[in-house]
Homo-oligomer: A and B are copies of this chain.
Amino acid sequence: MPKAKYDEIYMSLKRAIETGTYAYGSLMPSENTLIVQYDCSRNTIRRALAGLGGDGYVQPIHGKGVRVIYQPVDRAPFAFGGIESFQESASRNNFQVVTEIIQFSVVTVDEQLAKESGFPVGEEVYSIHRVRRLNGKPLILDKNIFLKSAVPGLTPDIAERSIYAYIEKELGMQIVTSKRTITVEYASEQDQQLLELGGYNCLAVVSGQTFNSDGIMFEYTQSRHQPDYFSFHSTATRKKM
């Protein structure tokens, strides 16, 4: 599927870094060397390297080379970053996930909801509340709002499995951009009833909007996480000033 050449090179180099072929702190082969190795143009190599830089894998040093700054991480039970769904990250780590539907309804966006979600007033949306159980323990409360016109035919049955799989495979829609905000809030009555919070009196809240390949915002999400199972990773590269 990765038919773009720069993407193949990107993944090839990424794997080489992860397996230690290029060690932390060392310099990558020069661009000209890579051009010969991969038989491509300089632009293509630079694009692959730019991708690695965005992932926090390498950092270019003007006039010197491209330094590897990737270090293996073995911390949290599972990492949660980018646009990876709960299902995806869980299955990647071989955990069993069960989803329970708490609420499934169609509502019309009012002033209040519009301000919170970013959807225009008057739009019809699905409002879905779900509890995610990891190995039996209820750990995440997901509140999703989907634009009905963009995600037609949603049913509780689908929501119980994976909505993202339905959207991507059945509807053929591609998820492209997601904006998220992370905060920490007091656990509400509902949180305490539905989740197993242990001794925590608060939880990690991830709020965000998701855009499809048409640039249409079709989802607003609020995920409320039991703190023990929450970890968010981010890499930032500073531009020139």
Contact A240/B61 with A71-B118, A177-B235 known, Cβ cut-off 8 Å: no
Query: Quick one: copies of this chain in the complex?
Result: 2
Find out whether the CB atom of B186 lies under 8 angstroms from the CB atom of A200.
yes
Find out whether the CB atom of B236 lies under 8 angstroms from the CB atom of A181.
no
Find out whether the CB atom of A184 lies under 8 angstroms from the CB atom of B227.
yes
**Complex CA–CA separation, A180 to B234 (angstroms):** 5
Query: From residue 41 to 69 of chain A, which have CB atoms closer than 8 A to chain B?
Result: 53-54, 56, 59, 61-62, 64, 67-69
Q: Does A213 contact B (CB under 8 A)?
A: yes
Residues on B with beta carbons closer than 8 Å to the beta carbon of A233 = 179-182
Stretch at the interface among A30-38, A79-87, A155-163: A79-87
Interface residues on chain A, size class: 35 or more
In the complex formed, the residue of B with least CB distance to A114 is B77
Residues on B with beta carbons closer than 8 Å to the beta carbon of A59 = 176-177, 211, 215
Stretch at the interface among A94-102, A129-137, A146-154, A201-209: A201-209
Find out whether the CB atom of A183 lies under 8 angstroms from the CB atom of B227.
yes
Q: Does A110 contact B (CB under 8 A)?
A: no
Q: Footprint of B on A, CB under 8 Å? A: 1-2, 4, 7, 25, 53-54, 56, 59, 61-62, 64, 67-69, 71, 75-78, 80-83, 115-118, 174-186, 199-204, 207, 209, 211, 213-215, 217, 220, 225, 227, 230-241
